[in-house]
Amino acid sequence: MKMTRAKRAIGLILIMSLIIQLNIINTAWAIDAEPQSAPSKLRIEPQNPGEPAIGYSEFDKYYVDFKWNVSFPAYSISKYLNFYVQEIPKPYRAAKPRTLKAKDVSGNLDSYRLKDLNSGTIYYVDATAYHTYTEDSKLYKSAESPASNRVKVLTEIDVDAYSVSTNKIKIEWDDVWNTSGRIDYKLYISENGNFTNTPPIYIGKDQIGPDKPVKVNESTGKLEYIHTARDPGRVYYIRIEPDVNDSELKKNPYSPTVIVSSYILVKTTKIAATDSGTIWKLEWSPVVTGLSDSNIKVKYQIYRGQVDSSDLEQYMAAVDGTDFFVTLPPGEVEHYFIIRAIVTRDGLDVYEGIKIESERIIVREQETPSYPAAPVLVDKFEKAPGETIISYDEELKPNSATILWKAPTRGDGQVDNDITYDIWIIDDPNLIDNPPESKKIAWNVSMGSSNQIISGDALIGYKYVVSNLTPNSTYYLKIVAKKQFIEYVDDILQNVEYISDPAIKVIITPTDEPINQPNVPAKPPLKVKKDSDGQNMVTESSVTIQIKNLWYEEYNFSENKWEYIRTEKLHYNDVPPFDPQPSVVDDVYYRKVSYDSGVRINVGCVEYREGMSYDELKYLPADKVVNFPVDPNDPWENPDLNPDGKKHNVDITVAGLEPIKCMLFG
């Protein structure tokens, strides 16, 4: 029996040992999953040799290359990263939340290209990591790690440029916004691809907007600027530099360079009329390459097409010079011509893919160069007397005004559609003659269909809306007309600009209050009335003061204020300081001030004290005389001594005063 117990004890010990050993093995296999650590040192570095880290490619579109550091647990089966982006939006576009841009990027990589981004956009980018592992033959996915460090990056700015007229190049680029608002730019326009000795054009927030040189196209998210090229038929190199003071922001120093050519300038001259047709001479400006190589060749190709035809223009000839004679047969078919330049070096195209050509040129007699007339500003246009089409007064608003002027005409009476305009809005009359550039709200603006005023089938005038004005303020609008003519300058065809004399319009914006509120001038001329003997009309308890319900003022430029100036005669032989002729009262140097009908006057007074300031009158209660009408009531006034032959004196007697007191009235 003892042996049997011993055997049983040994068997129990063996069983317990086996159980313990098995428990030890299971514990080794049951893995406690580690939290996935976040990627670190997320940074922008080039992925491919020869390609920038921030750029554009045909297949990837706008991209940014990233590198990072990350570690995964040793037992990880698969390793992944996710990339998130947070776009800084334009205020006229809907904001987007932090978005997963690239999912399940292999953790075995040490770099990744984030593709299909928007051009000219600032993003915040971060990354997370996760891994997979197995347990009990089952595959598990770890929780996503916290986010990595955040990288702020500006994608490559998209730039485009193309000719819009003979010496005008339109440049478009991305409207970039940072957290602090729209960024500034430096625009480079050079005659060489190295931008040697090319100073930038600085474009800040103050130059961007509806009435500024740089316009915003909210539908495309682009900024638009029209540049006046120095030379016709010349190739220009253009690039944008984002002018941003933000140490956190990663960006390229410049946008890619785009190349564009200004139009070749063409002049047409009628030479003779024959039985076979009319002979015309085409002359054009030579293409300026700026290249000194002796093996540079320029050849000009002439193409002809039919106006109002969908057919492509047809090749006519190629010449080395800058003129060509054509004979147009008689008939009603109207032709146009295009001059194209081919620039080669050793037979190879120098500007491959860049068109150097003229606009469509319709042969016609050229006008004799002359200065355009100053715009004729008007207050309204009518179809017939009493039938108003549009009125300045009706369109005037507290924050805007609509300026009207007659359509300019040529010598033959036809509307001159080649006129452009520069417009300034000025709030200081001292600046009218030489306003600063910041006051200009329109540059070389052409009047389109939205500006036209039509009566029947005839174009009779133009309108232009000036916005962003301040209510109850005075502005001076200055406008000049401009026209370009093709002339020889130093034996080379050039566009020469002729500018008209300016036209001036005074704009007085109404208040935001009801428009029927009467006009109440703030400082009417006030004095103590004199009797027929020339003595002040003052008694122990009363005084008679006198104001006018209409008077004239002269602007004191040194004091920057309007001041009363006498226009009435003191006697029949008197010559007053100012004769208010309508042509002189221009609201710039002189103005007329009057009370509207229905205005009532309140008068207050206070005892004068030594050292008293006139500013204290601002707080004086006007309760001595209340609701006194401004109708003329001076029985001694001679209306014949006033410029308009009417009475304007208003006498107001203030009674109930204390004797032997000096009083101030307001």
Q: Are strands 151-154 and 249-250 parallel, antiparallel or unpaired?
A: parallel
Q: What is 380-509's CATH number, 3.40.50.300, 3.30.460.80, 2.60.40.10, 3.90.870.20? A: 2.60.40.10
Question: Per-residue DSSP letters for 278-328?
Answer: EEEEEEEPPPB-----TTEEEEEEEEEEETT--SPPEEEEEESSSEEEEEE
Q: Are strands 420-426 and 440-445 parallel, antiparallel or unpaired?
A: antiparallel
- Tell me the pLDDT band of 613, cut-offs 50, 70 and 90: low
**CATH architecture classification, 40-155:** Sandwich (2.60)
Reply yes or no on whether the pLDDT at 501 is more than 90: yes
Q: Check: pTM over 0.95? Answer yes or no.
A: no
Which residue type sits at 456? G
pLDDT of residue 586: 74
The number of CA neighbours under 13 Å toward the Cβ of 193 is 9
Strand-pairing partners, residue 151, are: 125
Reply yes or no on whether the pLDDT at 22 is more than 80: no
- Tell me the pLDDT band of 665, cut-offs 50, 70 and 90: low
Which residue type sits at 635? P
- Among 5-19, 130-144, 214-228, 233-247, whose mean pLDDT is lowest? 5-19
- Tell me the pLDDT band of 493, cut-offs 50, 70 and 90: confident
- Tell me the pLDDT band of 263, cut-offs 50, 70 and 90: very high
Determine contact, residues 506/476, Cβ cutoff 8 Å: yes
pLDDT of residue 330: 82
Distance of CA 4 to the CA centre of its chain: 107
Reply yes or no on whether the pLDDT at 108 is more than 90: yes
Q: Do domains 266-362 and 380-509 have the same CATH topology?
A: yes
Phi, psi (degrees; rounded to nearest 5) at 317? -165, 170
Reply yes or no on whether the pLDDT at 43 is more than 80: yes
**Separation between Cα atoms, residue 33 and residue 237, nearest integer Å:** 59
Q: What is the pLDDT of residues 503-553, one digit of tens each?
A: 999 999 998 755 444 554 557 788 888 887 888 888 888 889 999 989 898
pLDDT of residue 554: 87
Structure tokens at 516: 């029927």
- Among 80-89, 139-148, 575-584, whose mean pLDDT is lowest? 575-584
pLDDT of residue 415: 92
Determine contact, residues 429/422, Cβ cutoff 8 Å: no
**Separation between Cα atoms, residue 347 and residue 317, nearest integer Å:** 19
- Tell me the pLDDT band of 412, cut-offs 50, 70 and 90: confident
pLDDT of residue 522: 55
**Separation between Cα atoms, residue 176 and residue 121, nearest integer Å:** 6
Mean pLDDT of 125-139: 94
**Separation between Cα atoms, residue 186 and residue 169, nearest integer Å:** 17
Q: What is the pLDDT of residues 383-395, one digit of tens each?
A: 888 889 999 999 9
Phi, psi (degrees; rounded to nearest 5) at 346? 55, 40
pLDDT of residue 589: 81
pLDDT of residue 92: 92
pLDDT of residue 606: 74
Reply yes or no on whether the pLDDT at 289 is more than 90: no
Reply yes or no on whether the pLDDT at 396 is more than 80: yes
Please give the residue that has the higher pLDDT: either 495 or 8: 495
Reply yes or no on whether the pLDDT at 93 is more than 70: yes
> ∠ at Cα 256 (250, 257), nearest 5°?
145
**Identity of the highest mean pLDDT range in 160-164, 350-354, 588-592:** 160-164
**Separation between Cα atoms, residue 87 and residue 82, nearest integer Å:** 17
What's the chain's average pLDDT? 86
Reply yes or no on whether the pLDDT at 151 is more than 80: yes
Reply yes or no on whether the pLDDT at 54 is more than 70: yes
Torsion angle defined by CA atoms of residues 292, 295, 296 and 298, in that order, rounded to the nearest 10 degrees: 140
- Tell me the pLDDT band of 445, cut-offs 50, 70 and 90: confident
Please give the residue that has the higher pLDDT: either 660 or 288: 288
Spatial neighbors of 184 by CB under 8 A, at least 6 apart, are 202, 203, 204, 205, 242, 243, 244
- Tell me the pLDDT band of 341, cut-offs 50, 70 and 90: very high
CATH topology for the 266-362 domain: Immunoglobulin-like (2.60.40)
How crowded is residue 245: how many other Cβ atoms within 10 Å of its Cβ? 9
* Three-class DSSP category at 504: strand
**Separation between Cα atoms, residue 169 and residue 421, nearest integer Å:** 18
Mean pLDDT of 12-35: 42
Mean pLDDT of 593-607: 81
Structure tokens at 569: 């005669």
Q: Euclidean distance between the first and final Cα of the chain, in Å?
A: 135
Q: What is the pLDDT of residues 363-383, one digit of tens each?
A: 888 888 899 999 999 999 998
Q: What is the pLDDT of residues 181-226, one digit of tens each?
A: 999 999 999 998 899 899 999 999 888 988 788 999 999 999 999 9
Q: What is 159-261's CATH number, 2.60.120.40, 3.30.450.20, 2.60.40.10, 3.30.565.10? A: 2.60.40.10
- Tell me the pLDDT band of 26, cut-offs 50, 70 and 90: very low
Spatial neighbors of 524 by CB under 8 A, at least 6 apart, are 547, 548, 551, 593, 595
Q: What is the pLDDT of residues 209-219, one digit of tens each?
A: 887 889 999 99
pLDDT of residue 56: 97
Give alpha helix (H) positions in 489-607. none
Please give the residue that has the higher pLDDT: either 501 or 586: 501
Determine contact, residues 157/206, Cβ cutoff 8 Å: no
Domain ranges of the chain: 40-155, 159-261, 266-362, 380-509, 526-665
Determine contact, residues 509/470, Cβ cutoff 8 Å: yes
